[in-house]
Amino acid sequence: MNPEQAGSGLDPVGGRWKQMGNDEKKARLNEEMKKMQRLPPNSSYASHRLRVLNKIHQLLSLQRTSSQDEELELLFSGLHI
């Protein structure tokens, strides 16, 4: 586990994500979106990360299938938030 993952409380496959409640997931997501919105608007990093965060937000808002649950877990674990 790298230091960034250790500080976030997540293991490499997003085990912490599975333990979070829906409210905590949304709070972490909103916090990360605010961070990205403070970055320069022409930042390709921020633009990409915001697209991923928006996809996670969309999936959180839906009644999900098991494949969508898997996609959501992979997206979240890849962000290390």
Encoded amino acid at 50, one letter: L
Judged against a pLDDT cut of 90, whether residue 8 lies above it is answered with no
In tens, the pLDDT along 12-67 reads 445 666 677 778 888 888 999 999 999 998 999 999 999 988 888 887 887 778 88
Q: Average pLDDT, whole number, for the chain?
A: 76
pTM of the model: 0.63
Judged against a pLDDT cut of 50, whether residue 2 lies above it is answered with no
Number of domains in the chain: 1
Q: What's the domain range around 31?
A: 3-79
Helical segments of the chain, H only = 3-8, 15-19, 22-38, 44-61, 66-79
Angstrom distance (rounded) from CA 17 to CA 21: 8
In tens, the pLDDT along 64-78 reads 788 888 888 888 777
